[in-house]
Chains A and B, each alone.
Chain A
Amino acid sequence: MSGEEQSRTTQEEKRRRNWVPVWTLAPVSLWMVLFVAVPLLLVLMVSFTKRGTYGGIVYEFTLENYARFFDPLYFTVMSNSLLVALLTTVACILVGYPFAYIVARSPRRYRNLLLMLIIIPFWSSSLIRTYSWIVLLRTEGVINNVLLSAGLIHEPLALLYNLGAVIVGMTYTLFPFMVLPLYASIEKLDCSLLEAARDLGARPWQVFRRVTLPLTMPGITAGSLLVFIPTLGLFFISDLMGGSRTMMISNLIQNQFLTARNWPFGAALSVILMIMTLILIGLYLRSTGSKEKLEVV
């Protein structure tokens, strides 16, 4: 066999081999195209169309839907959403960090059990769990009744149908998305680093601030992203627990599609939300990618 022939056969082999990944990826690619790319493109397309008089779509190019977003009314809705998402994320960190820390530092045989305890409730529908929060929080609800009969309060507290209730519901629903990445990063933390810090004169708070916190920051960032983004999109919690005054961007989108029958505007809002989410993910990737250059002390 001459050298030329040989190189040709290896090239042929290579070409044949290269098809294998393509074929194995085909089902996934088809799925992604059909159920992700096409719907997204449809949404994008609809966002540039006009609304028909009776709620249909008039295929005529316009930027009106995007321009409408800058109305102060919708701007308030957006900033409301961002505020709720931010507060929910902070609440998840404040509750989730100590929890994840205790789980990660408890004896190995209890860890899975403790993690299961937060995951088990999520086997039931989140809608049902939101309703049970309503049972707890409403004016004649469990909490108010207990406080009233204990004589701690004299008239029921307005626990439901405000921003606070929405944040409670969101925090509860998205809690595992914060705890699991936090747990992963705290569990990885080398105990000897904490001992080294103590050995070098750090008080408990300094150990936490200088060593534990910076080294578990990837978990905090990942968890925050996993909480912040879904909070922007979850509509039923603010719908059920927020009452009529707390309109969030997700409610607005739902409204446009289902009630107002203004699909083009709803689509435009969806696209704006998606772009914001992508920017956040981009920022996250940049912060994790450049962590090597981050200096903490």
Chain B
Amino acid sequence: MIELLNVQKEFGSFTAVKNLDLNIKQGEFLTLLGPSGCGKTTTLRMIAGFETPTSGEILMDGVSLLAKQPYERNLNTVFQSYALFPHMTVWDNVAFGLRMHRVPRNEIAQRVKAALEMVQLPEFGDRLPRQLSGGQQQRVAIARAVVNRPRVLLLDEPLGALDLKMRKQMQLELKHLQRHLGITFVYVTHDQEEALIMSDRIGVMHAGVLEQIGTPDEIYERPATAFVADFIGETNLLPATVGQANGSSVLLEMGDLRLRVPTAGNLASGQHVTVAIRPEHLTLGPANGLTRSSPNGEDDQLEVTLIERIYAGPVVKTVVRLQTGKDVLITDSTGRDIPFKEGDRAMLKFAVGKVVILRER
């Protein structure tokens, strides 16, 4: 529905967004995720019309948005700071957009009432924004935007100012609201957990570049780049060499480790790559007594030294050191006891199919 074609935004000599191609689908909850300064807010502001791209095109239903002023675009924004008008009551804030569009008076009354009921603040119409809590202000900001029935709602870190508990609650409320209204949401956040919980699709941005776009599980399970793998959840990034490559899969070599990994890209034999594996996809076994079976030239284990065990509530984290000197993180559920102590030697077992070869930037 909204297409960004080769969009670039420069502020002086700084490039905030580089060659961005993005296709936002009708009715989806799309999150732009990335650290501060990655260009996600700039992207949102270009869609809203507050910034003009240096080059490139933004289309809505095939029609260019660039010539249109913000007030001519059929979309609304929920701002990070809420940007509620401090001199107007909650009611007047919510009615503002309708009044600007010259909606008949009785329809305004009806729609504002419905919007305030939707965000569970029907009794708060007479209050001023400063008389509300952060969470309530947040709801008013959402009501003020959706009351206009936009085709797209743009949300710029709308939960950033709330405390953790409120944020968790609002995450679910927002997701339910989006399902209920069927409006396309474009959501900007730096909180990876929030992105994973709420989104239909996540676009991960870094230094102005869209690194990967996909469903939450694609992003988590099959990160495309080292940045994505590292930014979303915890991960181990390990150097490896491509052994023999044969069409749809390659044999990865890492010390004694020989792993067959499916790949879509063209990798040449002898090429150095970086692979990612999540801490929960690694397990420890005893160093001896285990038969090191390698029927078809594969071996999913490496000999390691246990460095540290850390209790972290629901999981226990274990740090082990490879023979190359690199530290690797393992997590298991609490309660599964491992018969090792610090300094012991053990075998590190890689879950087959969970090793991901990362794209070089």
Which chain A residues have a beta carbon within 8 Å of chain B's beta carbons? 190, 192-193, 195-203, 206, 210-211, 214-215, 292, 294-297
Given A192-B79, A195-B79, also A200-B97 (CB < 8 A): yes
Q: Is the CB of A200 within 8 A of B76?
A: yes
Q: How many A-B residue pairs have CB under 8 A?
A: 72
CB atoms of A215 and B87 under 8 A apart: yes
Cα–Cα, bound, A200→B71 (Å): 6
Q: What are 16 A-B contacts with C-beta separation under 8 Å?
A: A193-B86, A198-B70, A198-B71, A199-B48, A199-B71, A199-B76, A200-B71, A200-B144, A200-B145, A201-B100, A201-B148, A202-B100, A206-B100, A215-B86, A294-B87, A297-B88
Which A residues are in CB contact (< 8 Å) with B71?
Answer: 198-203
Q: A201-B148, A214-B87, A297-B99 are in contact. Are A196 and B79 (CB under 8 A)?
A: yes
CB-nearest residue of chain B to A194: B83
Instruction: Report B-chain residues with C-beta under 8 Å of the C-beta of A193.
Output: 83, 85-86
Does B128 sit within 8 A of A, measured CB to CB? yes
Chain B residues with CB under 8 Å of A199's CB are: 48, 50, 70-71, 76-77, 145
Q: A-facing mask of B71-113, CB < 8 A → 1, else 0?
A: 1000011011101111111001000110111000000000000
A111 to chain B, nearest CB (A): 19
Q: Which residue of A lies closest to B154 (CB)?
A: A199
B324 interface hit (Cβ, 8 Å) = no
Complex CA gap A202/B76 in Å reads 12
Q: How far is the CA of A202 from the CA of B85 in the complex (A)?
A: 13
For the complex, give the distance between the alpha carbons of A155 and B290 in Å.
Answer: 114
- Interface check B248, CB cutoff 8 A: no
Main secondary structure of the interface of B (DSSP, over half): loop
How many residues belonging to B are interface residues under a CB distance threshold of 8 Å? 28
B293 proximal to A (CB < 8 A) = no
- Which chain A positions have C-beta within 8 A of B97? 200-201
User: With contacts A196-B77, A203-B71, A210-B96 known, what are 12 further pairs, Cβ within 8 A?
Assistant: A192-B80, A192-B81, A193-B83, A193-B85, A196-B85, A198-B49, A198-B69, A199-B76, A199-B77, A200-B144, A295-B92, A297-B99
A200 touches B81 (CB 8 A): no
Chain A residues with Cβ below 8 Å from B144 are 200
Which residues of the partner chain B approach A297 to less than 8 Å between Cβ atoms?
A: 88, 92, 96, 99
- Contact partners of A198 in chain B: CB under 8 A: 49-50, 69-71
Q: How far is the CB of A278 from chain B (nearest CB, A)?
A: 28
The interface residues of chain A lying within 8 Å CB-to-CB of B81 are 190, 192
> How many angstroms between the C-alpha atoms of A52 and B249 in the bound complex?
117
CA distance A30 to B50 in the complex (A): 57
A197 and B96 form a contact (CB under 8 A): yes
* Contact A190–B83 (Cβ < 8 Å): yes
In the bound complex, what is the Cα–Cα distance between A295 and B145 (angstroms)?
21
Q: How far is the CA of A131 from the CA of B208 in the complex (A)?
A: 59
Q: Is the CB–CB distance between A195 and B87 below 8 Å?
A: no
Using A198-B70, A199-B71, A200-B96 as known contacts, say yes or no to A292 and B83 having CB atoms under 8 A apart: no
Min CB distance, A199 to chain B, in Å?
A: 5
Given contacts A195-B70, A195-B79, contact A200 B87 (CB under 8 A): no
Quick one: closest B residue to A217, CB to CB? B87
The residue in A195, A203, A296 that gathers the most chain B C-beta atoms within 10 A of its C-beta is: A195
State the CA gap A294–B89 with chains docked (Å).
10
In the complex, A201 Cα to B48 Cα: how many Å? 12
Q: Of B80, B84, B88, B101, which is within 8 A of A201 by CB?
A: B101
Residue of A nearest to B99 (CB): A297
Q: How far is the CA of A200 from the CA of B103 in the complex (A)?
A: 13
Residues of A within 8 A of B76 (CB): 199-200
Instruction: Find A196's partner among B83, B87, B99, B128 (CB 8 Å cutoff).
Output: B83
The CA-CA distance from A202 to B128 in the complex, in Å, is: 21
Closest 8 CB pairs of A and B: A200-B97, A201-B100, A196-B83, A192-B83, A198-B70, A201-B71, A199-B77, A297-B92
Flag if A292 contacts B100 (CB, 8 Å).
no
CA distance A67 to B128 in the complex (A): 49
Would B96 and A195 count as touching, CB distance under 8 A?
no
Considering the chains assembled together, what is the distance between the CA atoms of A64 and B50 in angstroms? Answer: 67
A199 vs B148: C-alpha distance when bound (angstroms): 11
Smallest Cβ distance from A36 to chain B, in angstroms? Answer: 37
- Cβ contact of B100, chosen from A195, A200, A294, cutoff 8 A: A200
Chain A's closest residue to B73 (CB) is A199
How far is it, in angstroms, between the C-alpha of A192 and the C-alpha of B45 when the chains are bound?
A: 11
Q: Measured between alpha carbons, how far is A201 from B96 in the docked complex, in Å?
A: 9
Given A195-B50, A198-B70, A297-B92, answer yes or no on A211-B79 (Cβ-Cβ < 8 Å).
Answer: no
A215 to B88, CA, bound (A): 10
A296 near B79: Cβ-Cβ < 8 Å: no
Distance in Å from the Cβ of B166 to the closest Cβ of chain A? 21
- Our pick among B70, B87, B100 for the contact of A296 (Cβ within 8 Å) is B87
